[in-house]
Structure 1
């Protein structure tokens, strides 16, 4: 097989003339063997080297300290080095940040299922120039999987043909192999195949802000593989364990301790004002109206969502936050008929 680079010149119309942009280079892998490749042949299996293997916490340090690593990764992800001596020593902070941003588009990962906890930490790697040149296809002609050689320790990726290929045919693989959910496939393919939303925004002078976008993965599998980072507009989307949506805090484990804690804190703060009104001897009816509008509305926020899954401790905490001050009418400490907490 052979890695081939294609230059695609883009043109943009404006002011009655065409403005030529810098060419966009696209790599692809072609079959160069005259007899082609037969999927049934035992020799139609190839080893692809890993250009860079790392763990997330040490990625930046390796790029800064390993000679020649930053220039190679910059060329692989399409970033240019700046400054004299940067190509030799890799001392280019601007390019370093660009590589850290773009490498997620090329990253792949695996982890060991046995061994101590530190050995089972996810390992990330980038394929070499040949492996990174394999393009995606929903109907791939080849497949690839990581392969760890136990005696020596080095890791490779095994590439094999899924169908017979003739000379000049392109070798492709499925970037989301094994994923059958159409929506998840679309999300994972965003770095290479823009979603209609991304395309529509770019065509209508709108900009998607990846810095204000987060990803929360809900996965209850015992040995779940780390998900591939989500890339939006060439920027990685931050993965979070909890997120506030429409006033409610949703956690990754679908528990509601954070949400109930936030509600309890707000209710306690508003109960202070209710105690102050009591000192001015306001009529009981006005205080009930104040409680219903200011305190009860906080306690009952999204209650149909979180209350059935709340623990007994959380329910007691929520009730305690709305307990009546000493001397207040008992009617004030109860939610109205439209929203009642079980146990009141």
Structure 2
């Protein structure tokens, strides 16, 4: 039997649960009582502990504030009908965190530290996991530089934290998106495949311009020619054209290796759905919208799970997607993923850990 790490725990004196309105959760605004913290110094992770969620003490010369060495993950925990807490694909998040760490010159986080910190934190704050249908506990592991040094080099010290927050649906309705052909999210050789803070900072301005124009998200195109669809602002994206699913590959280093994306692909293979991992060109997308062969478009991500797209703007023109039948792939795969996450259907790929 595997021995747990002996994590010291400092509990809050007064939980904020009684003052939390679980029927009106704004995504990311309500943070649970505790957080897991670990410090990296002298080549090893030390001082692992769980403590009350609260402010950090950071020197104004902190390297992250000046040079952006910061990475993060996003995952969710769910409460099933028996009251058990189920976490979806935590091992995949741990692996991706370390892939981001390598690209950003940050230390590898041992699996034991990640998993024990995660499970013991969620177990301590299990009362924060919502019970309402569609609600969950969002989990945010992240790592950032801690050196107090004004100079461009990798930090020697780091802090790793896991915090959690109860959330409802990220999108309450189908989304409208705009194909972006001016600004660039990522280019080959850049940091597009890493889940690093700077990627999101760079996307804020063009995303805000799109939101001012009435769109929820952008469909990013490749930085070289702006002719190929890559991903959306907070999620990977998939299209169903003439009965075939099409989604961008992740081997170019410009696209985040989405865990929900990977899960959808696996289920599509299980169901023998025609699938192509290739770039869809802007021209192909526009043609499919004009001739009606685009059957579905949807985003895949931890926050949204499956975000149905109802309107796409291409080259300045809006196209409304057709209404989807009840047995549309995006509806079926959403139901299957939710069933697995809430423990209501079989988990053939061992994606769930129970707490």
| Higher fraction of helix | 1
Same fold, judged at TM 0.5 (above): no
TM-score tier, shorter chain, comes to: under 0.3
Structure with greater contact order relative to length (CA < 8 Å, sep ≥ 6): 2
In our comparison, the structure showing a higher alpha carbon Rg is 1
| Higher fraction of strand | 2
The two structures have a TM-score, normalised by structure 2, of: 0.26
The two structures have a TM-score, normalised by structure 1, of: 0.26
